[in-house]
Each structure stands twice: as structure tokens, then as C-alpha cells.
Structure 1
Amino acid sequence: MSDRYLAFANSAAGRRLLRTLGLPTPVRLERWLPGRSRTLDGALLLGGDGALLESLPGFAHKLSGELYADRPERFGLPCWRRTDDARLKALVFDASGLSRFEQLGELRTFFQPELKHLAPCPRLLVLGRAPESLDDPQAASVQRALEGFTRSLGKEVRRGGCVQLLYVGEGAEPRLEGALRFFLSPKSAYVSGQVLRLAPCAAQVKDWTRPLAGKTALVTGASRGIGAAIAETLARDGAEVVLLDVPAAADALAALAARFGGSALTLDICSEDAPARLVEALPEGIDILVHNAGITRDKTLAKMNEAQWEAVIEVNLQAPHLLTQALLQAGKLREQGRVVLIASISGIAGNPGQSNYATSKAGLIGLAQAWAPTLAGRGISINAVAPGFIETRMTAAMPLALREAGRRMNALGQGGLPQDVAETVAWLAQPGSGAVSGQVLRVCGQSLLGA
């Protein structure tokens, strides 16, 4: 469904009127388009004095054709010079070396002068060390302070900009390339204000044009909406995709699978024999498992009957648990596998009239956190993706006032697209993204809910 306010805000007349009235003027976000090869179309500025920055120049030239350092004679790069016409597309600041409170001022010193020199839809990234990994209380406090800084900056940067914080563990430096390829690109258009931890991971991407080549993926709830977008994006990145949905969606599922050479599988994931049938349908096993299937049965708790509660828990939470467990026990989820659970911001912030749905989605986040240590021995990662307001048929059916509130209550001032969720899943499915496990990544435009 089209966002008329967004379209008006990006017209010449609309922009003038909304600014005169003091109303938000959200920028139409840049998203990854077919045929694009480079991560960044614009200048990338590197700064900070931490040790992490030393690993960036080895691959930074693959990200952008315009690389700059924050001061002369660094890494053989030209020093960034501010002019009236100069614009930065991305900034990466290594804060891993900050260990004293007075050093926090370096964040302001680096970012503040550049905020007026940003191109549309800029990407700002801070690198640090996980506070829990540090013995010095003050150093740990300083690194934890980075979260407050990045989340606040994400709400100030405007112009469609996104800000992230990556805590990089010792030995995880080689996984920075994959993370930067995602977070500095239009693939992360609706991801902002996020904090992720990278751990060492032996697997790596061999071909960045097809990072999932040779992998087989299973996507549940794949016949339409977010599930269809995930399946198509995984196929674009080289995966052989098995699309699963209920028998009633067989025609739509088969048509979608035929479009990009996937295969269709119809199955009621809540049936008693679903785990055994799924194992039987995947004789060669899979590398990527995406649990997207889900339902809503919205009612306030006072009006919700038992069937409405149990149906949501069964489909959204119990079925993913049982199916994943069956695939693991049968050895059908291969070593170095990737599991992605589609949760929801409702599972983080709660939502009136969705106690059943929020419970199920919070439970998925719990599954990711609980299983991560167990699966790590096989090189398998498991994470949750929590979408916010995404433009789908479900949100198009919402009352106008609620729909507009959902669109505007985030730092980017608009709803996301199924593509935004799909790009995030595709990144987490990559071999090198085993560096991330047991975590939840929100795709919500830095929603004000649960922030």
C-alpha cells in the first residue's frame, strides 16, 4: 500500500509546506537494486584510534571508491576536507580504544562537524569492545556508554540516516567485512539504533556477488508477504530455496517457486506428524532454516478465548521449536547452518490486544538465546529478527489512524518493506554471519516502542 504522506513529503511543494508547519519530512529510503555491485555510492570516512580500525583498510576499498581518513598520513588515505559541496555517505568510528570518561568527548569531536555534510541516507557506524569482556570497570562503563550515544544519534541524524554499534570480540576482526557490507549498504535501509556483538567465526563468504551459493534454504510461510520476499532474496544470493506453506496456499507457493527455480512443499506445521514429514521431505538436508510462518488472533486478554490463545502459541512458537528440534536430531540441519526466527517488535515492547502474539514472539527470542550456546559446537548460529511496522496486506487492513501511527513512530518516519526484513535475514544466513548468534536484530527504523 502506498504511503501518501511519504510521497507528499518528498515532493517540492510538500517539503516546503511540511517544513513551514514544523511537521516531519521523512526521506524516501534508498534500497538495494538489482545490478548494483558496490556497497557505497559515495565517500566513506574512517576515524578513531582503536585497534579495530587497522583491519579496515585491507577491504575498505571494496566498499567505496572514495575513502578518506580523519587526519593526514593514515593508512595511505587522503585526509577528509570539508567544503560546502562535499558530502559523506558513511562514517566509521573505532571507539574500541576509549577507556576513560574524558575520552568520550572524541565521539562528539568526530561526528559533530560532519553532521551538516552528510549525503541522503547516510550510514554511521561505531565499533567497540563488549563491556562484559573488560576487567576495568571504567573501561567497561565507557564502552557501555556507546549504546546511549549511538541510539541518540540515530534519532538525530535524519535524512534517512542509520546508526549502529558493533561490539567486536577478540579474534572476530575478520568478520567485520561482512558486517560492514550489510550495515553500510542500502540492504540495511530500515535497520537503525542496533547493537550487535561479533564473535570469532571460521566460516567465510567466498563470493560476495552470491554469498549463499551452494547452500540450501527452507523458508516457512513463504507464499506471500515477508516470507515470499525472504525466499526470493535468498535465491538472489545464490541459495537453492525450498518454500513451505499450508496446503491452501499451494498454487501461490508453486508459482513463486517456479519464478526463481525453487521447490514448493505444502505442510501444516502444527500437525502431529509435521516434524517427521519435514525430515522425510529433506533427504539431503539444509543449511539455512527460516521460521517465518505466523498468525495473529488479536483480542484484549479480557476477551480472548482459549482457542485464540493456543492457536497463536502453537503456530508461532511451538511449531518452530519442534520442527527445528526434529531437523537437528535427524542431522538434517548441516554443520555451519544458520537458523533465523522471525519474531516481532511486539515481542520486545508488547502491544495492546496482542498478548498471545507478543508472548509467542518473545518466546522465539528466548529460543534463539537458549539454543545458541548448544548449537555453537556445530558451528550453527541462531538469531531472531524483529520487524516493526512493515508494509504488508496485514498492515494495509489496519484502521487509518493506527496505520499512520505505526508508520511515523520511528526515527525514519515511515514503514519498512518486506525487502528490508528479507535483506536482514539474508545477511544472517551468510557463512561469516556465524559471528552473530543468540541475538535479536530489529528491523523497525529505530521504533520508539521498546527502544
Structure 2
Amino acid sequence: MADRYLNFTGTAPGRFLTRRLGLPQPAPLHRFSAERPRFEGKLLHLTAGEPAHREELGKLLAGTGLDVVSTAATASQAEHPVAAVVDATAVTGLDTLADVHAALHPVVRSLAAGGRVIVLGALPSPDDHHQAAAQQGLEGFVRSLGKEIGRGRTVNLVRVAGPVAGAESTLRFLLSPKSAYVSGQVIQVGATEGELTLPENWDRPLAGRTALVTGAARGIGEAVAETLVRDGAEVVLLDVPSAEADLAKVAERLGGRALPLDITAADAGERIAEFVPDGLDVLVHNAGITRDRRLANMPAERWSSVLEVNLASVLRTTDALLEAGAVRRGGSIVATASIAGIAGNTGQTNYAASKAGIVGLVRSLAPRAAAEHGVTVNAVAPGFIETKMTAAVPLFIREAGRRMNSLGQGGLPVDVAETTSWFASPGSGAVNGQVVRVCGQSLLGA
């Protein structure tokens, strides 16, 4: 459904009226397209303190194709840079935390519309409360800057807990149009179980890999499948038998295979493993339902049906596929949470419980899956995404959902798909146990 307010604010009368009335002025977002696949312009490589890996990080940033400017003197003179990366991994106290302000203060106003700010931090140390305080301070800094920076710009924090080379996939994602609706997030990049496998071609990082997407007949699932194919994957599309006709059309369009199957079936995991005897590299748990009603008015069936589809089926099929070795080493599991599971929503105790359960699954399973199976486990947590479901929401609630985020607009299914594909990339093997909100930095929740 078209966002008429966003379109109106892009006109001269719209800009005048919204400015006079103090209304939100959302900026059109630059998303990935074949015509504009990446940003062009200057990237400022700034530092706080004395980072130990400045040269190595500089090489990673140069690989993005942007024009890296890495001295403070020339950075302040760069006109409208498209991105600024501040390496704050060496921040250990309030004196070096002040360097973050000193690095960004002169340049943040000149950052191009739709630009990116990335702060690299270290893990807060349990043995040094001064370092821990300063590094935790970066989180508040990033979230606040994301809410004030405006003009479609995004701000994110990447905590480097392993070799900086493991952050390459994450930096490429956040410094590209693919991350247009990801802001105010804290992403941890750790060490990997074994050597990290980087894609031969960063434009098609999933080449030669097989992915299965549940709930793929429409909406976000269809967008995820389409994006995985664009990035080189062969896809298996799964949805309920009642959606078989739509599923077949999507599979034919994408050159994939359709698997009509009720994911809540007790033997769903076994049947998936039989359908892909050579195994999977990517498992995307996208299928989900809502049955909204306040708890006082919610019968047991509404509760149990949502928990069964959104959480129990994910637990069962994940366990079965891992036990069968159907997800190959070096593979990834990506589940779909929701900001409802993080912040809660009126009338959604069932849905929020199921999506919070996904967060718990990811945090618990991720380290064990990596150690025992060589598989990463992460989750996307969408906010307000423009789908047929949200189009049916009453007007004022829909408008509130669109505007109550730092970007002042709803996201698109492709925004969730891009984040899923980044998680699925073999280059993201150092990203594990993460829950990334795709919500334009929603004002609901952290």
C-alpha cells in the first residue's frame, strides 16, 4: 500500500506545510536496485583513541568501493560524505570516549542524505569497569544519534569481539543501500569456529548454496526467497498446502522448488530432510500467524495456534534438521522474531510470547549450534512493514506505526529480506546469536 504522506512530503507544498506544522518529514530511502546497487562518494575513516587494527580496517573499508578519507584534517573538509566509520574499539575511559564526539561533531551535519554512520566498539570488559562504562556509553550515543540525525541517515554500533576481518560482511551490509531500514542496532561480531569462508563474489555471496524459506508463498517470505536468489542461492519454497497454487507461481518465477507442507506437522523436519537429500546451507524460519485479542478475551485455541506455528514448529524442525545433519557445516539458520516480542503489543500476548521465544531460542542455541554443527543462528525482528496485513490495520493505527520510528516511515518486505541474506552469507560466519531489528529504529522497545 502506498504511503501517501511520504509522497506528499516530497512535494514543495508538502515540505512547506509539514515544516510549518512541525510534522515528520521522512526522506525517501535509497534501497538496493540493479540501477543503483551501492553508494558512491567519500567514506570517512575516523578513530577514537589508538586502535590496534587501523590499517587492516582501512583495507576492509576500501573494499566497499567507496573513496576512503582517513585523516582528520581532510575529513573535515570532505563535502557531503556518504558514510563515516568511527573506530572506537580503543575507547577505555571518558577521555577516549570524548574522541568519538570530537571525530563526528565536525562532520555529522554534512553527511549526505541517506548516509551511514557506523561506530566500531569493543565488548564491555567484566574486569575493567571504566572500560565497560565507556564502551556501554557508545550504545546510548549511537541510539540517540540515530534518533536525531534525520534525512534518512542510519547509525549503528558494531562490537568487534574477534578478528576485525570477521566484520567485513557486516560493514559491507551496513555501508550499502541494503541496510536502508536498519538503524540504532548493536551487532556483535565474534570469532568463528574454524576459518571464515569469504564469498568469491560479494555481489553473489550465496552462489552454490541451497536455501529453504518457510511461509514463502507471499509477503515477506516471497521477498526473502527472491533476494536469496538474486544473491545466488537455489531456493526451496515451503508453505501450507492451501497456498500451493501461489507457492508454485513463486517457485516457477524464481526457478526454485515448491514444497507444500504444513510446518506444524510432527514430521515436518523429517519430510524437509527427505526433500533435500543433499542438505541445506540456509534455513529461514519465516512462517507465522497472528490471532490478536486481549488476554481476557482470548480463548485457548487462539493462544495455542499462534505458539504452535510461530515457535513450536521452529523448535521441532530446527532440532530435527540439525540432528539429521541436514543443515551443512558453514550454514546458517535465520528465524523471524518481531519488535512485538521485544516491546510487547496490546492484544498480542500470544504473538509477543512466540516472538520473544524466538529470541530465547537464538541466544541459547547459537553457541551450541556453532560448536557442534558449524552453523550460525540469528534472527531478524521486523517492525512496521508494508504488507497486506498492515494495509488492513485501521488508518490512525497504521499511520502511528509508520511514523513512530527514526526514519518516519514503514519498512518494505525487501528490508527484512536484505537482512536475512546478510545473515545467510558465508562471510557472516562471525555473526552468531544476534537479533537485529529491521524497524527504522522504532520508538517501541530499545
TM-score norm. by structure 1 comes to 0.95
> AA paired with 2:177?
P
SS in 2 for 1:264: strand
1:40 & 1:57 partners in 2: Cα distance?
17
SS in 2 for 1:51: coil
1:242 aligns with 2:231: no
1:280 & 1:252 partners in 2: Cα distance?
23
Q: 1:316: which partner in 2?
A: 310
> AA paired with 2:209?
K
1:274 aligns with 2:268: yes
Of the structure 1 ranges 293-302 and 96-105, higher mean CA displacement relative to structure 2 is found in 96-105
1:243 & 1:363 partners in 2: Cα distance?
24
- Do the aligned residues in 2 keep the contact of 1:94 with 1:128 (CA within 8 Å)? yes
Q: 1:76: which partner in 2?
A: none
Q: 1:388: which partner in 2?
A: 383
**Alignment partner of 2:428 out of 416, 419, 433:** 433
**Alignment partner of 1:167 out of 146, 151, 159:** 159
**Alignment partner of 1:122 out of 90, 101, 115:** 115
State the Cα distance separating 1:297 from its structure 2 match.
0.3
**Alignment partner of 1:422 out of 417, 423, 434:** 417
SS in 2 for 1:113: coil
Q: How does 1:17-416 map to 2 (within 5 A)?
A: 17-37=17-37, 39-48=38-47, 49-71=50-72, 79-82=74-77, 86-132=79-125, 135-171=127-163, 173-201=164-192, 202-377=196-371, 378-416=373-411
State the Cα distance separating 1:136 from its structure 2 match.
1.9
> AA paired with 1:20?
R
2:208 & 2:36 partners in 1: Cα distance?
22
2:138 & 2:53 partners in 1: Cα distance?
15
- Do the aligned residues in 1 keep the contact of 2:75 with 2:107 (CA within 8 Å)? no
State the Cα distance separating 1:394 from its structure 2 match.
0.2
SS in 2 for 1:336: strand
- Do the aligned residues in 1 keep the contact of 2:340 with 2:352 (CA within 8 Å)? yes
Label 1:65 to 1:306 Cα distance change in 2 as closer, same or farther (>3 A): closer
Of the structure 1 ranges 43-52 and 154-163, higher mean CA displacement relative to structure 2 is found in 43-52
SS in 2 for 1:441: strand
State the Cα distance separating 1:81 from its structure 2 match.
4.5
1:379 & 1:40 partners in 2: Cα distance?
33
- Do the aligned residues in 1 keep the contact of 2:76 with 2:107 (CA within 8 Å)? no
* Per-residue deviation, residues 133-184 of structure 1 (Å, max 9, x unmatched): x63221121111100100000001100010000110132x112221111001
State the Cα distance separating 1:189 from its structure 2 match.
0.4
* Per-residue deviation, residues 226-275 of structure 1 (Å, max 9, x unmatched): 00000000000000000000111111111111112111000011123323
> AA paired with 1:249?
A
State the Cα distance separating 1:35 from its structure 2 match.
4.6
Unmatched 5+ stretches in structure 1: 73-78
Of the structure 1 ranges 49-58 and 432-441, higher mean CA displacement relative to structure 2 is found in 49-58
Q: How does 1:6-17 map to 2 (within 5 A)?
A: 6-17=6-17
Q: 1:5: which partner in 2?
A: 5
2:267 & 2:98 partners in 1: Cα distance?
60
- Do the aligned residues in 1 keep the contact of 2:207 with 2:232 (CA within 8 Å)? yes
- Do the aligned residues in 2 keep the contact of 1:379 with 1:434 (CA within 8 Å)? no
State the Cα distance separating 1:408 from its structure 2 match.
0.5
2:316 & 2:96 partners in 1: Cα distance?
49
Q: Which runs of 4+ in 1 moved over 4 A?
A: none
1:266 & 1:209 partners in 2: Cα distance?
31
- Do the aligned residues in 2 keep the contact of 1:187 with 1:424 (CA within 8 Å)? yes
- Do the aligned residues in 2 keep the contact of 1:52 with 1:127 (CA within 8 Å)? no
Label 1:195 to 1:65 Cα distance change in 2 as closer, same or farther (>3 A): closer
Label 1:253 to 1:407 Cα distance change in 2 as closer, same or farther (>3 A): same
TM-score norm. by structure 2 comes to 0.96
* Per-residue deviation, residues 190-230 of structure 1 (Å, max 9, x unmatched): 00000011012322222112100010000000000000000
State the Cα distance separating 1:424 from its structure 2 match.
0.1
State the Cα distance separating 1:131 from its structure 2 match.
0.5
State the Cα distance separating 1:105 from its structure 2 match.
1.5
1:244 & 1:35 partners in 2: Cα distance?
31
State the Cα distance separating 1:36 from its structure 2 match.
4.3
SS in 2 for 1:265: strand
Unmatched 5+ stretches in structure 2: none
Aligned identity (percent) is 53
Q: 1:75: which partner in 2?
A: none
Tell me the C-alpha RMSD between the 2 structures. Answer: 1.3
1:30 & 1:111 partners in 2: Cα distance?
23
> AA paired with 1:175?
G
State the Cα distance separating 1:426 from its structure 2 match.
0.2
Label 1:435 to 1:106 Cα distance change in 2 as closer, same or farther (>3 A): same
State the Cα distance separating 1:304 from its structure 2 match.
0.3
SS in 1 for 2:328: strand
**Alignment partner of 1:442 out of 421, 437, 442:** 437
> AA paired with 1:160?
G
Of the structure 1 ranges 96-105 and 358-367, higher mean CA displacement relative to structure 2 is found in 96-105
Of the structure 1 ranges 187-196 and 269-278, higher mean CA displacement relative to structure 2 is found in 269-278
> AA paired with 1:69?
S
Of the structure 1 ranges 268-277 and 186-195, higher mean CA displacement relative to structure 2 is found in 268-277
SS in 1 for 2:26: coil
